[in-house]
Structure formats: structure tokens, C-alpha cells
Chains A and B, each alone.
Chain A
Amino acid sequence: MEYIGLFPMWYEPGIGSGWVVGLIATIHVLFSHTAVGAAIFFAYLSTVSYQRNQPELLEFIKRYGLFLLVFSYVLGSITGPGIWYSTTVASPRGISALIHSFVWKWATEWVFFVIEVVGVYMIIYLVGKVDRATHLRISLIFGIASYGTMLIIIGILSFMMWPGKPEWFVEGGYLNGFYGANTFAQLAMRTAFMFTMTAVVGGIVAGAIKDVAFKREITRKLALLGMASTLAGGLLFMWYMNTLPDSAQVMVANRLPDWFAVSLVSVLGGIFAWFAVTWLQPRLLSPALAMVMTVAVLVFGLWPEEVARESIRKPYVAGQYVYSNQVIARDVPGMGIKSEIPLIERKGFLPTQVFVPAQLRVVTESNALHAGRSLALTTCSNCHSLSSTGMRPLAKYFGGNTDVAQVKTYLQGTLGTGNTIYMPHIPLNDAEAYALARFIVSLNPQSLRNPLRTAAAESTALVAPTIKE
């Protein structure tokens, strides 16, 4: 018996599993980028301290480092593996595709992580306990090792969007998958923005400095870093957008809202203005204001950017060969990967899936609703909520149509052909298309208009659907 390798599904009816991943990932980006930027900033401050004999700069490193111990090395170090955990349950084959191509790269990054964790404790707790030249050496090691983690993860993130070189599909190989124009553009852009985050978050520590002159010096250093990196980041963002593959460009043009570009420019302008003000009036900087600014960057800067990046790689979730619904969508001869679409076309989804109850493998009139729900979980629920909340509720796409035959025809005509932009190719034979249509129709749009009814009604429908003849 031939099977497609789909895992069981986790369905989160509240906000959707995709948003769970997105939330954790976005928060982690703030923690991790701040940490890497700070590590390099510390190396710079250590160098200045050593060359100009300014031991007070080491004191700032110690304060900011202690803050980062919790901010980045508690919260960041947990949310990092947290992305793995959340993608493991939300998109197991997506993360698996990355793991199996880049396991050694992640293992290499792990070596840098270990150095980083040892290093952060040392640069904090050895201030004043080792001579300044040694502290400088430790700071440099910490800074470069931290950046090493950034260098590695960028290639993997780029692969998620598009393998570095198109040759990867034919030849395979880590290098073809990892390196490409998008890798370097993304690296440059993220490098700039990580300094922006370091400067914003650093304001929380700098704002609490009591000594007026010292506060001015540190605040202005952070402000300069912030202004330069925001400006550079904005320019590099344009380079990054130019390196996106054609398919992603189509998504950008068609799927991102019109206000996205305006909002992006406004956010960058706002951040730049913040730094300009703190440079002109360092005394205005307070921990509370800096915290508000940090949250603003997270909500108005990072979240939309991460959501946009997520959107423009659709319908794929990894390497342009794993669909967001976890099906292997195309052959990758270089890796010996075969598309699962032909098998599904020949035998259908239900008979070839591992995790399907035996009584649902063949669609009958009596099990059609249950079979349809199983199909919806597998083929739709990664991106479409089966309830009224969360990501793109499925029922809303059918305009309250209760004609099973029409919905079935629509499903086969659009998804079955694989020609719908943004959507995966979902070959549904007549029986499976009918079952899925039955389930979609059962998601009564009337209930979606009444939020008080939806949760109870739909959870009941999902657990024990009633067949209405």
C-alpha cells in the first residue's frame, strides 16, 4: 500500500495554529535580533572603553547585559526552540523539510549558541574581575559568535521562501539551497534592523541611568546607531524585495493590502523620529517610554513584516516544494523527492493518508460529513479556520452557498486544477469533493453572523457532525 506522509492534524479553533507560530516567531525575532545587535554593540563599546580608558562603558555593558539575560537569554532562548515546537505541531513537514536539509547548519549554530550563552555570563560577571584587554577579547568572541547565529539562520529562512539557487531542485546539495541573492539581501536587511532593535531596547536601560552626562553619551550613541540602522534597513529592504522570486512578486502585488507600503514607511519614519528626538533631548528618554517604543516596534513593525513574509511564500511553506497543507507538491530530483500529487490523483486523499480512521477511507453517503471534515482538516485547516474565528474562516469563502453540488464543482474547478493563485493544487476525486463540499456547506454561514452562537455550535459540529439529508 502506498501512503502520503501526512501527520495527524492539530486544529486550534481560537486563533489558528499558524498564528500561534507567528506570535512566537515574531516575539523571538525581537529577543534574538536585539541580542545579536547588542553583542556587537558591546564589542564596540568594549573597544572604545579599552582605547579611551572609559571604564564606565563597561558598567553600561553590565547593566544592559543583565537586562538581556532575562529579555533575550531567558525569553529568547526559550522562544527559539519554541518556534521549533510550534511549527512541529502546526506544520510538521514544513519544519521537517528544513531540518533534513539543514541539520548540520543548525548543529553548527548550536555550537555558536553554547559559546554565546557562556559568553554573556562572562561579559557581565567578569567586569572588574579580569583585566580590560581580556574583557575586550571576551566581548569580541561574544559579538562574533552571536553574529554567527544570525549568518546561519538567515540561509535557512531564505530557503523557506525559495531555495538559494534554482539548481537545488536538480542537483540538490546544501550550498545550492542555502546561498542565493535573497540570502544576502535578507542578511543585510536583518543586520541593519537588528541594530535598530538593539537601540530601541537599549533605551530601556539607558533611560534609567542617573548620571546626566553619561546618560547623554549612551543615549546619543544608541540614537546614532538607531538612525543609521533604520535608514540603512529601509534601503536594504528595497534590495530584499527585488531579490524575491517572481511568484512572490505576484503575491506582493495581489495579496498584500494597499496600505502595507504606506504603513511600512510610516513605521520606519516613526522609529527614525524617535531616535532623532532622543538624540536631541537625551533627558527625555525614560525606561517607560522606551518600553512603549519596544512594544510599538513589535506590534507595528515586526508583526506585519513577519505576516507579509509568511503570506508571500504561499501556497508553499518550505522550499517551494512543500505545500502549506503539508503535501509534497513537486519533484525535486536533486534530493530524490517525489511529488505526492500523482498518487493522490490516482487513489485519493483518504485511502492514502496514514492518520485516517478505517471507516472514513471510502466515502459513503452515511460517512460523507465525517470524511469531509477529515479532508478539511488535512487540506484546508493549516490556513483556513474551520470555525468563525482565527485565520481566514473557510465558510466565509463560499458566501453562504448551501448547494453541495455547486460547492463541489467549485472545489474541483479551482483547487483540482492547481491553477489558483495562492492556493495549493488539491486534486479531489468526485467522492472526496462531494464529502468536502458537504462539510463546507454544514458550516452554516448564519452562525458566523452571530458570534454568540459560533463557538458552541461549531465545536459541536466538529466533534459530532450531524448529517442533514
Chain B
Amino acid sequence: MDAAMLYALRDPAGVPSHPLVFLVLGVLTWALHIAAVQVMLGASALTLYGAFSRNPYWRRLAAAMLSTAKVAVSVAIVLGVAPLLFVQVIYDPFWYTANVLSARWVIGFIVILIVAYLAMYLFYYRNPRLATQPVRGAWHLVISLLLMLVVGWIMHVLSYQMLLPEQWMSWYAPNGQIDPSGKSLHGYSVTRFSFFILLSVAVVAAWLFAYRRYLMGRNAEDAGYIAWLLPLAHRLMLVGGVLAVASGALWLATLPEKMAWFATSAWIWVSAAALLATAFFPRLLGHKLDQSLWGYVPFALGAVALIVVGTAREALRYFTLFGSHGYDALDYKVNMDWYSTSLFFITFAVLGGVILGYLLTVAWKAGQTEGVYTPSRAITRLGNLSIGLLVLWVVQFFAVGFYVWAR
């Protein structure tokens, strides 16, 4: 598969902004998506473990983590839409080919994810009081977790097949016979997949620090439970850090020849430093974890580390396709469109910032309040501003639309 062929697969419409913008947004939103995925995986595993424990604290944690996992799936799906969008914009030759070659699995992804999510809900409905009553139908959650790993594997394969254009024809037409069934998953790296899955241990540990800090703000919470959570979070963070380093090293040691440069690149050192900083940071904080908002910082730092890891992952893709296959994702034809570009960034930064700021503040404050929460005047003004901005957005949609239509 030479460069001319790869370039021919590009969309002739070009892209409406500089391709670097899509590349950066792809990395940022992928990091957010994978954070939600890892919280979901870690929280599901903790739920499963806690559900069979006799320790009341474990059972309470299982109930909380089940709610967390349920919401995390929603968040992972909605956040996953953005990197899925951006990868199609500048890597379309690779993404579409990788998908078509495993088409049945792509369709299977949808079905399996639905079953996995419904299984989690079934477990939730069967265990409304998981903290206090014996677990029922645990196999629902086992199936859910296993199927979530399967959909993760499918996504991994699709992403990995993108990097192997030299093998595409042998997959599509083995021995010169075209096989359009899309029935096989062709290219994969068990070590790479393991690294990203095992990262969930450290991520859920960081989540536990934040969860613990959240509980500390509530008056009626059990101090014993909060104290019990601390060593658990530390232990998980330590184990997660070791697993991340070990599985990461294994992945790098098993890189195929054309990607071997990545193992000794600066991207790896920076990523390793970010992950280790995240792993050791809670211990460095010590008692400060209980003060002010410091308890939330490990998770924030973890998110930054995931952005760094995501950047390294992108570097591996970009330079492999550029260096080994002559495809430069950043020289995509630009058909600049200022209106839609500006509208997105304004919507993202202003509407998204204000509205999500308002909603999350209310959600957090309500969770910290006994009884009915009534926001302050400042927060209420933020709510009114949110509604106003939305109305303004809708008005501009119709105003611009009618103008263009009538023109």
C-alpha cells in the first residue's frame, strides 16, 4: 500500500480548519473518553469484589461504585463520540479501511455494548440495596464486565489495524481471493491492549481519592468508612502504578519493528514521568489530602497524565504512518470555513463552559447538602445565564438559517 494509494482514499472535500486542530482535539477528547472507560472498568471490578464481601465498608463501596459505573458508561459513550469524529477527519483512509475489514465486528460492537450496558442495569435493578442485602444475579455484572472488555478489544483492534496498511491487502484478499465478509479481527497487540486496560487500576484509585474527599464534605457520613477508604486508595494506586509501568514496558518491548523507535522516544519518558507522578502524588500529599480541595487533585493529575499518554499514543500513530508509509495527516487539504469553526469553539467554550459549570456546581452542592439545596444568588444567575445563552444560540441558528435560505 503506497502513499499514492493512501492519499487517494482521502476525502476530496478536505477539512474545514487546519488538520492540527482536529489532531489536538482528538487527543484531548480521547483522554477524557478513556478516563471514563477506565473509571467504569475499575468501578465495575470494585463492585464485583465488594458485592461478595462481608465487610460492610466493602459492600457500601460496591453500591457506590455500581452507581459510578452506570454513569461512567453513559459518560464514556458520549465523550467517545468526539474522538470517533475527529479520527475520521484526518485519518479517514486508515479508519474506514480498518473498520470495513472487520465490518461484522464493527456491527457486533454496537450489539455487544448494548447487551453489556443492559446487563449492568439488570444487576443494578436486582440489587437496589447492595450495601445491606446479599448480592443477587452477580453473573449479570460479570457478563457486563466481560462484554465491556470485548468492546474495548474491538476498538483496540480497529485502532491497531489502522497502523498496518502493509497488511491490508492480505487481509482483504488472502491469496488473491477477495473476502468481503469482514468476519475477522486481523491486527492486534495484546500487550498494548493490556496496558490501557490495566491503567484502570490507577485511574480508579485516583477516583477513590476524589470520592473520599466528596464524602468528607457531607455531614452525616461515617468517619470510619472515610478512614477505611484511604489505605484502600493508596494500595490500589501503588498496584496500579506498578501494573502501568510493567505492562507499559512489556508493550514497548513487543512493538513491531517499524514502531520500535517509539520505545526509546521522548514521548515514553514524558508519559512514564506523568504516570509515576500520578502514582506517587497522593503519598506526597499525606495529610493534605484531607484539606481544602486537595483530595480531588490526584484525579485531576491522573487526567493530565492520560492526556500525556494520549499524546504519546497519537505520536506513535502520526509518525508511524508518516515515517513508514509517507502519509502526513497534517497536510490535508483545507477548505476553511470560519463560521462553523467559530460556532463550534464558541459553543464549546462559552455555552459548554457556563452550562456544565452551572450543572456540575449544582450537582456537587446538592450532594453536599442535607435536605433541599437552594443555590446562592450567584449560582442562580449562572443558571439564568445558561438558559439565556441557549436561547441566544437557538435564535442565531434560525436567524442565520432564514437569512441564508432567503438570500
Query: Cα distance A188–B296 when bound, in Å?
Result: 46
Question: Nearest Cβ distance between residue A383 and chain B, in whole angstroms?
Answer: 15
- Interface hits, B71-88 → A, CB 8 Å: 71, 74-75, 77-82, 84-86, 88
In the complex, are the beta carbons of A11 and B180 less than 8 A apart? yes
Other-chain residue from B78, B89, B117 in contact with A114 (beta carbon distance below 8 A):
B78
Interface centre among B14, B107, B179 (most CB of A within 10 A): B107
| In the complex, chain A residues whose CB is within 8 Å of the CB of B344 | 104-105, 107-108, 111
Give CA–CA (A126, B371) in the complex, Å: 11
Decide yes or no whether B230 CB sits under 8 A from chain A.
Answer: no
Q: Which of B74, B93, B103 contacts A117 (CB 8 A)?
A: B74
Alpha-carbon separation in the docked complex, A157 to B170 (Å):
36
**Bound-complex Cα distance A338 to B172 (A):** 27
Specify which chain B residues have a CB less than 8 angstroms from the CB of A86 in the assembled complex: 106-107, 110
B348 within 8 A of partner (CB): yes
Given the contacts A78-B114, A81-B81, A9 and B359 also touching, CB distance less than 8 Å = no
Across the interface, do A128 and B16 meet the contact criterion of CB distance under 8 Å? no
Q: How far is the CB of A180 from chain B (nearest CB, A)?
A: 6
Q: Which residues of A contact B362 (CB under 8 A)?
A: 122, 126, 130, 134, 138
Q: A117–B4 contact, CB under 8 A?
A: no
**Least distance between A2 CB and chain B CB atoms (Å):** 8
Question: Are the C-beta atoms of B347 and A337 separated by less than 8 Å?
Answer: no
Q: Does B181 contact A (CB under 8 A)?
A: yes
A96 touches B88 (CB 8 A): yes
CB distance from B232 to the nearest CB of A (A): 26
Contacts of A165 in B (CB 8 A): 404-405, 407
Q: In the complex, A227→B75 CA distance in Å?
A: 35
- Closest residue on chain A to residue B173 by CB atoms: A357
Query: Are A88 and B106 within 8 A (Cβ)?
Result: yes
Q: Check: A99 CB closer than 8 A to any chain B CB.
A: yes
- A92 near B100: Cβ-Cβ < 8 Å: yes
Stretch at the interface among B43-51, B285-293, B393-401: B393-401
Chain A contact residues: helix, strand, loop or mixed: helix
Residue A287, interface by CB 8 Å: no
Q: In the complex, A319→B86 CA distance in Å?
A: 21
Using a CB-CB cutoff of 8 Å, which residues 1-59 of chain A contact chain B?
A: 1-5, 7-12, 17, 20, 24
Convert A136-147 into 0s and 1s, putting 1 for each residue whose CB lies closer than 8 angstroms to a CB of B.
011011001101
9 other contacts beyond A110-B78, A111-B348, with CB at 8 A cut-off?
A: A78-B77, A78-B117, A85-B106, A88-B88, A92-B92, A93-B11, A148-B394, A183-B405, A184-B401
Contact residues of B with A, CB < 8 Å?
1, 4-5, 8-17, 22, 25, 71, 74-75, 77-82, 84-86, 88-89, 92-93, 95-97, 99-101, 103, 106-107, 109-110, 113-114, 117-118, 121, 168-169, 172-173, 176-182, 333, 335, 337, 339-341, 343-344, 347-348, 351-352, 355-356, 358-360, 362-363, 366, 369, 372-375, 380, 383-384, 386-387, 390-391, 393-394, 397, 400-401, 404-405, 407
